Amino acid sequence: MSSTLGNTIDFDSARLKLETSAGGHRLAIPRPRITDLPALQRQLTQVLQTSLELDRVLALFFVQLAEHMGLDELSFSHSARDILVQNGTPATHRCSYRITHSGEYLGDLQFSRTQRFSEAELAQLESLMGTLLYPLRNALLYHEAMQRALSDSLTGAGNRFALRHAMEREIPTAARHGRPLAMIIIDIDYFKAINDRYGHAGGDLALQAVVKCMQGCLRSIDDLFRFGGEEFVVLLSDTDCHSAALVAERIRAAIEDMRFEIKAEPLRMTISVGVAMLRNNESGDALLERSDQLLYQAKQNGRNCVVCC
């Protein structure tokens, strides 16, 4: 039988609200494992200040709690920021916390292990979570700043710097594990005519609509970047050329069918697309160049089409 304890921690008032999902009571068992709680709090306070990376901060916290409390898993989620971080493997008995500070929602933490949590252990766990508050808040601020730095301010897609960062991460991973990696490069057809007719404000609206449409065609793990102007790049991990071509065609058809208006005037847009798969020992720049050549071929073929490797 599993057990789940739901908790809310408001660090402003230090009030704890604890509920159970099965009957409103908890079974008392083991005495707390931590014999020197203040020492562990001091240790965590020092360790958690060594990084601003959210994944790293949570991993450091989990390692200490796994050692001293026998935890099997720690997961953190922040729905508003689309963040999910998991350490370890989920187990039978769980306790979860919704964390707020100064009226700000900081996320949800869940801990799990194979043994039930006693009241004394929960009290210790909640005390230790106090050491996570400021490192967690700082890590979220840093994460938000990095997201802004890696995002195109107009469309919300990744920017060129983010694309470079993603290629530096994904290409070595694909090569190391022998997994396919595909790139799609997209250009909006006759975009200059849109700017000429409706002005840059109208062009901006068109770009935003295209990005929203493309995002609706992609998986959550796929990466979309604005490469410049009206040109976009999609990076597809674990995807061969055939599958990438299907994705590209789905995007092309969705944009062609998209209903969009500027100043109450219907505007039909189309795209030209090049699709290439990473070759052995190929660099990111070489992959980009091949994709761009295929895009040029799509334009030469009359636009509103997909050309694959």
Enumerate the active-site residues: 230
Given CA atoms 195, 197, 203, 206 in this order, what sign does their dihedral have? negative
Instruction: Give Cα 205 to chain centroid, integer Å.
Output: 25
For every residue of 51-68, DSSP letters joined together read ---HHHHHHHHHHHHHHH
**What angle (nearest 5°) sits at the alpha carbon of residue 58, between those of residues 86 and 81?**
70
Phi/psi for 53 (5° steps) reads -75, 125
How far is Cα 193 from Cα 92, in angstroms, rounded to an integer? Answer: 60
How far is Cα 70 from Cα 107, in angstroms, rounded to an integer? Answer: 23
Which two tokens mark 234?
A: 């999609």
How far is Cα 26 from Cα 215, in angstroms, rounded to an integer? Answer: 45
Which position has the token pair 């360790």?
47
Q: Exposed (0-12), middle (13-18) or buried (19+): which is 32, by Cβ within 10 Å? A: middle
The terminus-to-terminus CA distance of the chain in angstroms comes to 53
Residues 6 or more apart whose CB falls under 8 angstroms from that of 224 comprise: 157, 158, 211, 214, 215, 218, 232, 233, 234
Report CA-CA distances (Å) from 124 to 12, 87, 161: 19, 20, 43
Which two tokens mark 106?
A: 């900081």
